[in-house]
A and B are shown apart, each in its own frame.
Chain A
Amino acid sequence: MPTLVQAPAPIVTTPPPQALPGRQPTVLRRQRLLLPSLAILLIGAILVGAGVGAVEVPVPAVVGILLHKLGVSTGLAYEPQQEAVLWAIRLPRVCLGVLVGAALGLAGASMQGLFRNPLADAGLIGISSGASLAAVATIVLEVKLLAIFSGLAAVREALGFYLLPTVAFAGACGTTFLVYRISREGGRTVIATMLLVGLAINALAGACTGLLTYVATDEQLRSITFWGLGSLGGASWPTVLRLLPFLVLPLLWLPRLGKPLNLLALGESQATHLGLPVGRLKRQLIGLSTLAVGASVAVVGAIGFLGLIVPHLIRLVAGPDNRRVLAGSALGGAIVLVLADTLARTIVAPAELPIGILTALLGAPAFLWILLREQKQRRS
């Protein structure tokens, strides 16, 4: 800094910071109330989902039965038949809905954060398409493969009913790993490349799935269609308990990544300058999302749109802060899936609609309505 020769014009000085204590940054009321309201809504959705169906179980009865199971007697009246239906059929199904919905919502929010793109979802990195390809290949080629490799019969025998979920999960992990590997350049995962690699691998997996569908028999086609559209129909306590270990880690860990995801929104190098281990964060996001979505898809089939739309809805209400978006997407996903499933099994009772149809059928117009409303608000 050169020294003054003559009196200069006054140099601008830093205004003194305002006195302590600091004013808290403004958090809107609707942002603060988001998570509590979603929690209440989820409880409501669970009570409705558990109560509605061929055997009606009114909310007081649901509460009575649940408390009774916990060893609290309430005197709320219910029939033994209601208790049996609730415990053996409805509750495991609602639990499955909550778990899968939360997993899909969380994974969607995580991927949108990772790709810094609101159009991203878990399908983008090949999770769903890989699971579908593996499942369809199993449905179509099972008999032929068993005829060629007699050794597989033992594996088939051991897995029994769980063959399809196991294969689907393996397919999800395999495809995602492939996308991840190809996108690495000089020890770094390039996110923009990953998007393109994901597109290509998805197209490839889709083509292979199409080819298999083409050669499938009518009976196989029915299983493929059913699988592709998703359903919670197979729910039972053992299903829930088998899925749970896969989801514990993602459901507890992903919501804690809000702060790192906020930094990632600044850009990768900016996040690194702020001390964020970006490579590790990417691996965590990809690994946990694959675990959550892969396991979910393996059990209930591919349920589309939910992972894309739920984080959007949360963001519209609560702003872009990922700490709220992640937790909100988990709760929101659970609510939407439980309600959609309730609708799916009552709307054409005693038959059932595949839930994937419903999530898209109701989700898309709701999404459009919200977008248009926002647009109108911005204009006024």
Chain B
Amino acid sequence: MFDVENLTYQTGRKTLLQQVSFRARPGELLAVVGANGAGKSTLLRLLSGDIVPTSGLVRFDGQPLSEQPAATLARRRAVLTQQHTLSLAFPVAELVMMGRYPHFQGQPTALDHWIVEAALSTVGLSALAGRSYPTLSGGEQQRAQLARVLAQVWEAREGFLLLDEPLTGLDLHHQHHTLDIARDLVLRGFGVIAVLHDLNLAAQYADRILLLAEGQPVAYGPPDQVLTCENIHRGFQIDVQLLPHPHLSCPLIVPCPRRAV
């Protein structure tokens, strides 16, 4: 479980995040939404321990994050970042196997191999297991990295997944497929925190939503409470209409930009 208390982060004179508090539980998908520069990625970097908060505290399972060894943390929580720098010609299977490195010394076990297969099959890349990573398309690379992250916490109990814009570069099918994977994990007792841009996807898949604007929390709670016309306007400076979803109990958000009216 992630407990976040009064989290504030400043660099120089700029305050990127101010007084953010929430709790992300296992068995729950928390979507972080907000305009560009609202502090979503900063929040995720604070949660993954990349940067240290100016004030406030992040607790993972009751203990301050900074007091937990990286190696222990790596077996329980995995992070999918926005940018990937890998340029070496690793085969996709080996990239995914790197997610298993925290679990074995020396040679991978049969279980590690099996998990790599399962992770690849989950993201639908089994056929490309032997392909060299740089030859994949952008979306395929993104899915390969997702498979690596899945493999890392595959058998963890109450594991956590931090996903920074996991849908970037994915087609419609794979956007939904990725969020379905996240839902499956949530059913298995995982906690997932994902930065999302598409409010409709957030409404459909998230259990809770945290809406940020200029580093400050605007709203936090279940989708139907957070995604109101007023909140969305405060977060994105855009007018929207909420329609009833034809199949689901969540609202369907339709933007009405000024020019179209």
Q: What residues of chain A have their CB less than 8 Å away from a CB belonging to chain B?
A: 1-9, 11-18, 20-26, 116, 259, 262-263, 265-267, 269-270, 272-277, 319-321
Q: Quick check: which of B2-10, B15-23, B32-40, B110-118 contacts chain A, the rest being far away?
A: B110-118
Interface size class of B (residues with CB under 8 A): 35 or more
A14 with B113: CB separation less than 8 A? no
A259-B101, A270-B81, A274-B152 known; A14-B184 Cβ under 8 A:
yes
Question: Which residues of A have CB within 8 Å of B223?
Answer: 2
CB <8 Å contact, A17 and B86: no
Q: Which of the residues A9, A267, A277, A321 comes within 8 Å of B86, measured between beta carbons?
A: A267
Complex CA gap A36/B51 in Å reads 44
Please give, as numbers and ranges, the residues of chain B lying within 8 Å of A20 by CB-CB distance: 110, 114
Contact B249 A321 (CB under 8 A): no
What is the chain A residue whose CB lies nearest that of B89?
A320
Chain B residues closer than 8 Å to A16, beta-carbon distance: 121
Minimum CB–CB distance for A369 against chain B, Å: 20
Q: How far does the alpha carbon of A17 sit from the alpha carbon of B93 in the complex, in Å?
A: 15
User: B168 to chain A: closest CB distance in Å?
Assistant: 16
Q: Is B207 an interface residue (CB 8 A)?
A: yes
CA distance A272 to B97 in the complex (A): 16
Across the interface, name the chain A residue whose C-beta is closest to B204. Answer: A2
Chain A residues within an 8 Å CB radius of B98? 262-263, 266, 274
Q: Is the CB of B122 within 8 A of A14?
A: yes
Q: Which one, A2, A14, A269, contacts B180 given CB within 8 A? A: A14
Q: A26-B93, A265-B90 given as contacts; is B49 within 8 A of A272 (CB)?
A: yes
Q: Which residues of A contact B110 (CB under 8 A)?
A: 20-22
By a CB distance below 8 angstroms, the chain B residues around A25 are 91, 93-94, 97, 113, 116, 129-130
B88 within 8 Å of A (CB atoms) = yes
- A14–B176 alpha-carbon span in the complex (Å): 12
Q: Is the CB of A4 within 8 A of B247?
A: yes
Q: Of A6, A275, A319, which is within 8 A of B246 by CB?
A: A6
A2 touches B203 (CB 8 A): yes
Residues of B with C-beta under 8 A to A1? 29, 183, 186, 204-207
Please name the 9 residue pairs, one residue from A and one from B, whose CB atoms are nearest each other, closest first: A275-B74, A17-B118, A22-B113, A22-B114, A320-B88, A2-B250, A275-B71, A25-B93, A8-B247
B14 touches A (CB below 8 Å): no
Report the bound CA distance from A263 to B97 in whole Å.
10
CB pair B89–A319 under 8 Å, yes or no, is: yes
Interface string of B170-214 (1 = CB under 8 A from A): 000100110011011010000000000000000111110000000
**Chain B residue at minimal CB-CB distance from A260:** B101
User: A11 to chain B: which residues have CB within 8 Å?
Assistant: 176, 180
Check: B138 CB closer than 8 A to any chain A CB.
no
State whether the Cβ of B216 lies closer than 8 Å to any Cβ in chain A. no
> Nearest chain-B residue to A275 (Cβ)?
B74
Q: In the complex the two chains form, is B91's CB within 8 Å of A2's CB?
A: no
What residue in chain A is nearest B72 (Cβ atoms)?
A: A275
Complex formed: what's the CA distance from A16 to B118 in Å? 8
Report Cα–Cα, A7/B246, bound state, in Å: 10
CA distance A319 to B102 in the complex (A): 22
Verify if B232 is at the interface (C-beta below 8 Å from A): no
* A261 to B: closest C-beta gap in Å: 10
* CA of A24 to CA of B176, assembled, Å: 30
In contact, A116 and B85 (Cβ under 8 angstroms): yes
Question: Which of A8, A18, A273 has a CB less than 8 Å from the CB of B79?
Answer: A273
> Can you give 24 contacting A-B residue pairs, CB < 8 Å?
A1-B207, A14-B180, A15-B122, A16-B121, A17-B117, A18-B126, A21-B113, A22-B110, A25-B116, A25-B130, A262-B90, A263-B101, A269-B81, A270-B81, A272-B49, A272-B70, A273-B79, A274-B152, A275-B69, A275-B70, A275-B71, A276-B70, A320-B88, A321-B90
